[in-house]
Amino acid sequence: MTRMVWEVRSISHLTRMERMSILDRDSHRVPRRQIDHPQETMTVTRRLLRAMLAMGTLAAVSLALSPARAADYPTRPIKLIVPWGAGSGIDVQTRQFATAFAEAIGGPVVVENRTGAGSQIGYEIAARAEPDGYTLFAGTNANFIHQFLRPTSKIDPLKDMAPITLVNWLPSVLVVAKDSPVRSVDDLVALARSRPGALAYGSGGMGAASHLLASAIVSRNGLDVAHVPLRTLTADLAPMLARGDIHFAFPVTSVAANQIAAGTVRPIAITSAQRHPQWPDVPTLAESFKDERYVADSWNGLFAPAGTPEPILRKIFAAAVKAVDSPLHQASARTLLTIPEKSDSPAAFRKFLEREALKWRDMVVDSGIKAE
């Protein structure tokens, strides 16, 4: 039997005239649906809506997808919003994931870059999209950082989005210029203390993980170091380090890998709990500071707008975990030095996100960053 799901919004604060205006505006959208039951038909009538309005509520009719429609999904291209620039490490790997996901889901997937505000532009576009399974979002921990950085914005990824699965871990790497005299975290702290106000660090923008990590070092160690947001870490990092415009930065491995391999930047620490096999001589930030609060890897995962029907979410999840396991995605992870990981279920991913929210909330507090 087809289910009718009613999303009820209170409008008791409106006048009767305003309620009738809403009815006149929206009544043409109310569908006539036949329930899959012998000889039985349900019609949402104008009279029923007037009764609801009189009671101070407006029933916004949202028809849950029937099993047949869920089985047919997708019938048109799926849009996957990436909130980072084209050509960035996250973008490159998400495109590889999208190719594998398209094969698993059985339909085309179009990657769309919607950048700005430290990933929040893309986030807001995805959160406002129709929850029909045809808009997905490549979210990261940056969205949780913004939640706590700008509490008045009422951003809440666990309410705005339907979590689907984790896709990758992305450790961050503390890098300096290839010819920098800094060889360790201790060297960096000592240099900053000897030259208060003379050093600067680069980041991917206000509230990005690269900003938060550097700011935490500065704040926790009582340093005076300037923040310089970069247009993109991918394009600007090495030239700005070489010129001395900035003195250190925290790109994720997918951004840092090629530049470290090319010798244009040099790693001195990594945010993982363990040393990275690619750079076994590079210590973790936690062991350098002897402080577990510095274990703070970034990650990215797959989300849909809140309210996406469960049958569709289940189908997306099944295809997404196949994509994470695909040879194509695994190969791109090896190239970009990220760590592929899928969730056991959307519910397990939500639990993970709840823990991550607490961790990044504490990092925001410790960093001392204030929204600009």
CATH number of the domain residue 157 falls in: 3.40.190.150
Q: Are residues 189 and 270 in the same domain?
A: yes
Provide long-range contacts, Cβ within 8 A and 24+ apart, for 148-152: 148/357, 148/360, 148/361, 148/364, 148/365, 149/206, 149/207, 149/364, 149/369, 149/371, 150/207, 150/371
- Do 188 and 263 have their domain in common? yes
Evaluate whether residue 289 is within a structural domain: yes
226 is a domain residue: yes
Do 303 and 290 share a structural domain? Answer: no
Q: Average pLDDT for residues 206-230, to the nearest whole number?
A: 91
pTM value? 0.74
**Which of 33-37, 46-50, 238-242, 309-313 shows the lowest mean pLDDT across its residues?**
33-37
**Tens digits of per-residue pLDDT, 25-46?**
443 443 433 334 433 333 344 4
| Residue 14 located in a structural domain | yes
Over the stretch 275-297, which tens digit does the pLDDT of each residue have? 998 999 999 999 999 999 888 89
pLDDT of residue 34: 38
Note whether 185 and 281 are same-domain residues: yes
| Residue 317 in domain | yes
Q: Give how many domains the chain has, as a whole number.
A: 3
Give the residue-averaged pLDDT of 48-76: 55
Q: Does a structural domain hold residue 256?
A: yes
Q: Which domain holds residue 160?
A: 73-170+299-367
Q: Supply the pLDDT for residue 14.
A: 44
Give mean pLDDT, residues 148-176. Answer: 91
Residue 187, C-beta contacts closer than 8 angstroms, at least 6 positions apart:
181, 268
Mean pLDDT of 221-249: 93
For residue 372, the model assigns a pLDDT of 55
Asked if residue 320 is part of any domain, the answer here is yes
Residue 315 inside a domain? The answer is yes
Q: Partners of 109 in the beta sheet? A: 78
- Residues 263, 178 share a domain: yes
**Do 163 and 305 belong to one domain?**
yes
Of 237, 263, 294, which one is at a domain's C-terminal end?
294
Beta-sheet strands, E only, within the chain: 4-10, 32-33, 42-43, 57-63, 78-82, 109-113, 135-140, 161-170, 173-177, 199-203, 225-229, 248-249, 265-270, 298-305, 339-340
Residue finishing a domain among 64, 87, 106: 64
Give mean pLDDT, residues 244-270.
93
- Residues 161, 57 share a domain: no
Cβ neighbors of 366 (< 8 A, separation 6 or more) are: 216, 219, 220, 293
Q: Are 360 and 148 in contact (CB under 8 A)?
A: yes
Let me know if residue 372 belongs to a domain: no
Same domain (yes/no): 99, 43? no
62 pLDDT more than 70 = no
Q: Are residues 34 and 144 in the same domain?
A: no
- Do 209 and 358 belong to one domain? no
Same domain? For 304 and 164 the reply is yes
- Asked which of 12, 43, 64 is the last residue of a domain, the reply is 64
The closest alpha carbon to 203, from 212, 195, 194, belongs to 212
Mean pLDDT of the chain: 83
Are both 165 and 311 inside the same structural domain?
yes
Tell whether omega for the bond before 327 is within 30 degrees of 0, i.e. cis.
Answer: no
Q: 226: domain CATH number?
A: 3.40.190.10
